[in-house]
Amino acid sequence: MPKDRGMKNIDLYLDNFTKLITVKIKKKGKVKILDAGCGYGIAMAELVKIFGEKVEVVGFNYSKHDGNKELLKRELLKKKVFSRIELKKIKNFPKFIYCDASNKLPFKDHEFDFIYSMISMYLFDDKIAFLEECNRILKKDGIARISPAFGRHDSKLIRGQKGVPEYYQYFWEVWDKGKQIKIWEYCNKTSGVRSIWKNRLKGDNPMYIEIFGNVKVNFKLRFISSVDLNLIWNDWGGVKSIYTTQLREDFNPRYRKQ
C-alpha cells in the first residue's frame, strides 16, 4: 500500500472505521486518534476534514523521510483535499511523531480513543510488542484496528514485490511445543484481542487485528528473532517476526549454554 493511502483504504480494510469514530464523537464530543505508521498522513488530514475540531490526530513514522508536516501539505494541495486558504484555517492539523514501533511508544497510558494502522506492521521487527503497546495507550473504552500482515489477502503476490517466496509472504511465525500455529487463530484465543481474516484470497475484504482497551492484553509469547526481507534481496520488503510460547525465564538453548 502506498504512503498516500486515505480513509477510503482504511474503511475498506478496517471495516468502516469512520463509523466507529462517528459513534464515539456523538457520545463524547471529541476523540483522540493515532495513525500508527501514517506515511504521508493523507488519512489523518481527511479525518480532520470530516470531523473538524472534534478530532485530535497524531501519526508516527520511523523517520521524517517517510512523511512529515510539509510533505503532507503538498500532497493535500496536489490531491485537492484542501485549498491553500482552507489549510491556513485548520487549527488541529495532524501532528507527526518519529519512533521505532518495536520499542515502547512515546505516549502515555490510556491516551487514545482510537488507533489504526494500514499496511505498516509488516515492517515492524517485534509485532507483538507493538500490539501490546497499543493496548497500553488505549483508553478503557478505546479500540485499535491494525492491518495484520498475516499474509496474502488477495490472489496476487505482495503488491510491487514480485518473486517473493510464499513462505515469506506471511510475516509471522508462532511456535508452540515445536509446532507452528496460525497467528490469526492464536490472536482469537488471546483475551482482549480478535482477528478478522475472512474470504482470504478472494478479493479486497476487511482484515485486521482488533485490540480493546478495557482488557490488559498479554499474548504470552517470547520474541525470538526477526528476518528483514530487504537484506535478503533488495527488491523485497517487510520483516518476518518469530515467536515461541516457551516463556521459561531460566531456559537456555542447549547449544548456547551460558
All domains of the chain, ordered by start, with CATH?
7-155+191-217 (3.40.50.150)
Comparing CA positions, the residue from 193, 189, 167 lying closest to residue 176 is 189
* Ranges of the chain with pLDDT below 70: 1-2, 152-162, 199-203, 256-258
Instruction: Classify residue 101 by its DSSP letter.
Output: T
Q: Given this model, what pLDDT does residue 256 score?
A: 67
Comparing CA positions, the residue from 102, 112, 120 lying closest to residue 37 is 120
CA–CA gap between residue 132 and residue 221 (Å, rounded):
11
SS3 251: coil
pLDDT tens digits, residue range 105-133? 999 999 999 999 998 999 999 999 999 99
Q: How far is CA 135 from the centre of its chain?
A: 12
Q: Cell numbers 508452540 correspond to what residue? A: 176
Which helix or strand (DSSP H or E) is residue 225 part of? Answer: strand 222-228
Q: Given this model, what pLDDT does residue 258 score?
A: 55
CA–CA gap between residue 230 and residue 157 (Å, rounded):
16
Which helix or strand (DSSP H or E) is residue 230 part of? Answer: helix 229-232
Which helix or strand (DSSP H or E) is residue 173 part of? Answer: strand 172-176
Q: Given this model, what pLDDT does residue 199 score?
A: 63
Q: Given this model, what pLDDT does residue 112 score?
A: 98
Half-sphere exposure of 75 toward its Cβ, with a 13 Å CA cutoff?
Answer: 19
SS3 238: coil
Q: At what angle do helices 42-51 and 69-78 cross, to 10 degrees?
A: 70
